[in-house]
A and B are shown apart, each in its own frame.
Chain A
Amino acid sequence: MKANKALLLSVVLSACVTTLPPAHVITHPERADARLAVSWIGHATTLIQIDDRFVMTDPMLVDTVAAGLSHRMVGVPISPKDVPPLDAVLISHVHFDHLSLDSLASIEHKVRRAYMPEGGLVYLSNLPFDAVDMRKWEGSSDRGMEITAVPVAHVGPRYLVDTWVHAFTGWVVRYHGITVYFSGDTAYAPADFRATKARIGHIDLALLAIAPIHPRSIMRKVHMDPEEALDAFVDLGADHMIPIHFDTMTDSTDAPHEARDTLARLVRERHLESRVTILAIGEQSVVIAK
């Protein structure tokens, strides 16, 4: 009960957050020197470049979501006008901080196709780009880029009452032999991660959510903490990991930078410094150079 009250207070206070400007700003996201590059836009939003293709995950390109109830702590580091044409937008689930309709509207003419979890299209509204919804293990191919919905453990409703909605998924993108895994939000689900490894094979990069951590009694069922995210990284057998979903929104009782600092400590303890890259919002990493 105490944990519930603390979480509720945290969520309520999130409406009062002042959004600070990002320390890094992205104006030219395309990297000529990269086969695989990732820019972290904040929260679960990443811009992935695989050779000549661009993919964005859970675009949140506005400072507030949930009808103004939830604010970013750090502003958006890229202007919609600087977002390159997107071959795919991957939506992991329909919670307000992952399916931001204003954000999608701001890049609507740059999106070739959006990929939604099964049952998610009803939450998209009639945006002009093409969109499909996919069930677990379903795959779709577009001009050589393969996108597969993979299982994760989360919850679906957007409006609390819509308990019949189970629209959540992880995604795998493969193009030119490079494979990227995007967890969206998920609890630690080793069976799902190992099944993904068995079906998908080699994964070059895993984008894994590492927060919110607390209150753990609640979050454990739906979110990984940094230690579990590293375990998931091992379960997936990925070469590299970039953590996401931390230090952007007030959605927990975590201390400032707790997830980031905990992950950094664990990475040192497990000697994973060469394989795990912790980005700041607006930073970019070349994972595989040309």
Chain B
Amino acid sequence: MWRQEDLMLYEYDALSSLRQPDVVAFPRSTEHVVQIAKVALRHNLPLVARGAGTGLSGGSVATEGGILLVFSRMKQILEIDLENQRARVQPGVVNLDLSLAVADEGYYYAPDPSSQKACTIGGNVAENSGGPHTLAYGVTTNHVLALEVVLPDGEVIHTGASHWDRPGYDLTGVFVGSEGTLGIVTEATVRLSRKPEAVKTLLAIYDKVVDATRTVAAITARGITPAALEMMDGFCLRAVEEATHAGYPMDCAAVLLIEVEGLKEAVEEHADEIEAVCRENQAREVRRAKSAEERDLLWKGRKNAFGALGRISPNYYVQDGVIPRTRLPEMLDFIGSIEKKYDLRIGNIFHAGDGNLHPLIMYDERNREQTARVSKAAKDIIMRCVEMGGSITGEHGVGFEKSDLMPLIFSDDDLELMSRVKNLFNPLGRLNPGKLLPTGKMCGELRGGLAGGGPV
């Protein structure tokens, strides 16, 4: 694909519109990818892999042009082995489709990014994607066991194994989360999890944000690890409720959406204990989903929240900082002060249990002065995360957007180790150039997030 109007479709991801590739290729097999890699090598062109383009850090956009490899034609589930709890898939398989394929047998694929209806396993592997249920079950890297990878020179290697403890270096663990800068994944073997016997979903409603944030560490301090522990503030809630009618209260300051899973007895006990902790922390009300439909509706509200916010603001910017969960009350206060300082509207909807923040800053890209303030606010928030001993990204990846923020948390020596690994697999730097590692051009700056483009 090379016509201007076709290429336009691939100039953006969920971060923003950045740049068009020179050509888009749709491989059908590993062999195609090998051949395309060789073409890219021969012509010294950038080679960028892309799944569904739902990424939030610009990782799948060919920011320096070149060949974009789109995996929409490699979407076969190659093998499902329930007794071993494994599946072997091509990179274009949609995350949710894998779970659906094994649902009847009582299994699922645990990592569940909010974009799971569209995003692909290949993209998840590249970004080491998370989701609401990573609190108990871990992120993508904890569920990927083996990979087939095409290196930039066209060599194909197989890392890991479908069983545990293959001797040698854990290259699978290095490739997961490497954002397409080390190799192109053409096949992944992943772990399938057993569906729990019982699930209970609670909605704790608060009149003060600080009470909701205090509850988070209080729950884990009781020795309970919920399967999910999400927070939404009143502003986001109202937008979500208007869009989805999930039954969220319109007049509160914040809610916690808490899910416990496991053996029936454990779930009942944990739900009771969590309810007590919520009430000790001034929850106005604690509701329990009475049916699977009610539960689905609550989650639909949460997972479609970004879309709902798109209805009320022309643009928004989502930040992905992480802090220790005990610092949440302090951090939410800080975000409130940033909102005032820059005269912006900031919504908060995030994975509270992990301390993984997603402040959503509303803006209108046509207002350039406001857009500049958004950029400053986002930077202030990420700086505060770093000061608290946190990270610049919990699940969205470094990508194009944050590569110049890496020096905030990594020293030159730390980055040099990463460069060593990159140079080993991608010595010419033509594989997804300009991503993950600092470009050295604009140290400490966010890139691309506010360049325009629409909300998803």
A and B from one assembly?
no
